[in-house]
Amino acid sequence: MILVLDVGNTNITFGVYKGLEQVTSFRMTTKIQRTSDEYGTLIRDLLKNNGIHKEDIDGSIVASVVPNIMHSLTSSLIKYLATTPIIVGPGIKTGIQLKTKNPRETGADRVVDAVAAYEKYGGPVLVLDFGTATTYDYISEDGSFLAGVTAPGIRISAAALTENAAKLPAFEIVKPDTIMAGDTVTSMQAGIVFGQIGQTEYIIRQMKKETGRDDMKVIATGGLGRMISEETDMIDTYDPMLTLDGLARIYLKNCDPK
């Protein structure tokens, strides 16, 4: 079995795979500074709680957008799981051609999403990831990553409201029953959620228009992707495990068959 790790700005999401079949998944917060021993102990215990022994792990792969934790994290995998992880970055095989102006600027998480979306759903495909940032990435019919849009994530937008306006309270991110809000909290919920739906639909329409590909599939992932997907018919599929699936696929392309 292999351990895949998606290191985001908010959470580290783990998956355990047999080939392309997911056995289990779990997560921990990213924002706490940890030593390699702390990471190792936590990962080992989380695996055990999910019925996986450390001896069951034959390899690992990491995609990260948080460079400052990578030394401790990779050291923990080597020390506690006896596996040297593959790091998603320049030089590894993905099956996707990065044809943006500066391919090295493309985040590892976006590459991984692109691999999974293209291999699972075919191209052309537009991948939406509702994470700390909301991203929209276009992969062509021949597997070329051609363009991406980056916008503030839903939680970032909500935090900006409450942190920069003294009288606005913290609020839960849920879709209100109506956009005709009658109180402060509901008005903020309406602005954030309906605003995100509007942004999503406009960007999808514009990318279809500029590529001339009305037939592109639209795949969403990420924590709040389900809520947005349920509110628009412009998203074809919500796939919560897209990133983890992509990591497993990239591992198989790069692992030593021995």
Cα angle 40, 42, 45; round to 5: 105
- pLDDT tier for residue 220 given thresholds of 50, 70 and 90: very high
pLDDT tens-digit map of 70-81: 999 999 999 999
Task: Please answer whether residues 36 and 75 qualify as being in contact, where contact means their C-beta atoms are separated by less than 8 angstroms.
Answer: yes
How many percent of the chain have pLDDT more than 70? 99
121 and 231 within one domain: yes
Q: Higher-confidence residue: 31 or 174?
A: 174
Q: Measure the CA–CA gap between 14 and 60, rounded to whole angstroms.
A: 10
Report the number of distinct structural domains present in the chain: 2
76 and 183 within one domain: no
103 and 10 within one domain: no
Q: Measure the CA–CA gap between 13 and 40, rounded to whole angstroms.
A: 15
Q: What is the pLDDT of residue 137?
A: 98
- Residue-averaged pLDDT of the chain: 94
Mean pLDDT of 16-21: 96
Write the burial class of residue 78 (CB in 10 Å: 0-12 exposed, 13-18 middle, 19+ buried).
Answer: middle
Q: What is the pLDDT of residue 13?
A: 96
Q: Where are the beta strands (DSSP E) in the chain?
A: 2-7, 11-18, 21-29, 59-64, 86-87, 97-98, 125-130, 133-139, 144-152, 217-221, 237-238
Q: What is the pLDDT of residue 78?
A: 97
Q: What is the pLDDT of residue 91?
A: 87
Res. 124: pLDDT tops 90: yes
CATH code, domain with 235: 3.30.420.40
Res. 256: pLDDT tops 70: no
111 and 26 within one domain: no
Q: What is the pLDDT of residue 257?
A: 57
Of 45, 58, 109, 214, which residue is the catalytic one? 109
> Is 37 in the active site?
no
Q: What is the pLDDT of residue 116?
A: 98
Residue at 250 is within a domain: no
Range of the domain at 10: 2-87
Mean pLDDT of 212-225: 95
Q: What is the pLDDT of residue 166?
A: 82
